[in-house]
Every structure is written in C-alpha cells, then in structure tokens.
Amino acid sequence: MEMVLQNPVREQKAVSDGIIGMIFLLATEAMFFAGLISAYIVNRAGIPVWPPVGQPRLPIEVTAVNTAILIASAVAIFLFRKNIIANFNKGNKSLKLLVTTILLGGTFLAIQGTEWVRLIGYGLTTTSSLYGSFFYVIIGVHAVHVVAGLAILFYLFKAIKNSATLEIAKNKITVCSMYWYFVVGIWPILYMLVYLM
C-alpha cells in the first residue's frame, strides 16, 4: 500500500528560497571583493609612485568601451526578464534578449583577454611588480565570476527551453539575473579603483 506524506503546513513564503539563498551568496561574494579591494587600497597607500616606474599604463579607453558593453548586457537581461514575464512564449524575441546578454558578456571577456595578451607583451606580468600582481588577481577574479555568470545564463537558457509554463521558470529567471547584476554591478567599482585611480 502506498502511503502519502501529508504536505507540510507552512507559513506563507514572502520571498522564494532561491532569492534568499542568492542574497546570502552575493553578500558573501561582496565581502570577498571588499577584502581584495581593501588589500589593494592599503598597499597602494604605502607606495609613492603608482604605477611603478617602467610599468605600462592600463588601457583606460578600450576598457571604458568594454564597461559600456558589460552594462549593456545588464540592460539586455533586464528587458529579457520584463518581456518574458509579460509574455511567456518559448523561442519568442525575449529569448533573443537572453542570447544578447550572453553574447555581450562573451564580448567583454574576449576584449579583456586580448588586452591581457597585449599587456603581457608590454612587460606587465603577475610578478613584474605589485601593480601587475594586483591587476591580474583582482581583474582575473572578476573574469572568473563573468565565466561563472555566463555558465549560469546558459543553464537558464536551457531551463527555459525545457519549462512548459512561466511559473516553473520565473523563479530561476529572477535568481540567475541577480547573479548577473552582481557581476556587472561590481565591475565599474573595480574599473574606477584599478584603472582610473
């Protein structure tokens, strides 16, 4: 005989499990970046000439364009969520917006990569100076987060393809876009501190 467990009698959830979990994860991530940034600021404060003599300047203009590309990807995912909630339909133009987000994120990574190759050519490496060490570690850690973000968005794309209704996918859309907003949101801070300051 098959017994069925009674459903739990629970209080109404104000916010979904996934959103709360993502908030705590991002708070921890934010503290991680805060640790890196404070280490950078403390070190810089103690060094009179920055960047050190003989080290190349960072590509400010190209990266400004790249910053705009990353912000555009956040706009794309915002529009995507708005559209898909208004009209859930697999393969419609809202999914194209998600693809746009992924492509913009990928472009950001590609431009960063080519800039890294050029910088290494100019003699800026992880061991050439503290300047180089901080640059590659902080920007590199962010790049790892972009890669993780792209993987999450790709997962979301698959998940939407496989869901029959909006209710199944809605929570995933919100939770995944939260992570992407974080990846995009932390970048201007890093750009300002590492490239402009």
Partner 1 sequence: MSDTLHKKSFFRKYLFSTDHKVIGMQYTITGLFMAAVGGFLAYVFRYNLAYPGDHIPLFGELGAQQYNSFVTCHGMIMVFWVAMPILLAGFGNFLIPTMIGTDDMAFPILNMMSFWIFLLSTIVLLASFFVPGGAFGGGWTMYPPLSAGGYTNPNPDFFKAFFSGASLMILAVALEFVAMLMGGINFLVTTINKRTKGMTPFRIPLVVWFINIATIIFMFSVGPLVAGAVMLLFDITVGTGFYDPARGGDPVLFQHLFWFFGHPEVYVLLLPAVGAIGEILSVFSRKPLFAYKTIIYLALLSAILSVVVWAHHQFVAGIDPRMATFFSVGTIIISIPFAGIFLSYMATLWGGSIRFTVPMMWALGFIGTFLVGGLTGLFLGSNAFDIYAHDTYFVVAHFHYTLFPVVFFGFFAAFYFWFPKFVGKNLNPALGKIHFWCTTVFFNGTFFLLFFNGLGGQHRRINDFSLFSNVVKEPYITFEKIATISAICLILSQFIFLYNFVTSAVRGKKAVKNPWDANTIEWVADSPPPHGNFNPYPEVFRGPYDYSLPGEESDFIPQNVPHTNENIPVLKVKLSVS
For binding to partner 1 (CB under 8 A), which residues are involved?
A: 3, 5-6, 8-11, 13, 15-17, 20-21, 24-25, 27-36, 38-39, 42-43, 46-47, 52, 126-127, 129-130, 133-134, 137, 141
Enumerate residues 6+ apart whose C-beta is below 8 A from 155.
176
Smallest distance from partner 1 to CB 124, Å: 13
- As to burial, measured by CB atoms within 10 angstroms (0-12 exposed, 13-18 middle, 19+ buried), residue 33 is middle
Q: Are 156 and 98 contacting, i.e. CB atoms less than 8 angstroms apart? A: yes
Smallest distance from partner 1 to CB 8, Å: 5
Nearer to partner 1, 105 or 132 (CB): 132
Smallest distance from partner 1 to CB 47, Å: 5
Nearer to partner 1, 10 or 61 (CB): 10
Nearer to partner 1, 39 or 65 (CB): 39
- As to burial, measured by CB atoms within 10 angstroms (0-12 exposed, 13-18 middle, 19+ buried), residue 42 is exposed
Q: Are 180 and 148 contacting, i.e. CB atoms less than 8 angstroms apart? A: no
Nearer to partner 1, 27 or 197 (CB): 27
- As to burial, measured by CB atoms within 10 angstroms (0-12 exposed, 13-18 middle, 19+ buried), residue 141 is middle
Nearer to partner 1, 95 or 130 (CB): 130
Q: Could you tell me which of 112, 81, 77 has the C-alpha nearest to residue 120?
A: 112
Q: How far apart are CA 178 and CA 197, in angstroms?
A: 28
Smallest distance from partner 1 to CB 112, Å: 19
Nearer to partner 1, 87 or 140 (CB): 140
Place of tokens 């939770």: 175
Smallest distance from partner 1 to CB 14, Å: 9
Smallest distance from partner 1 to CB 142, Å: 13
Cis bond before residue 51 (omega within 30° of 0): yes
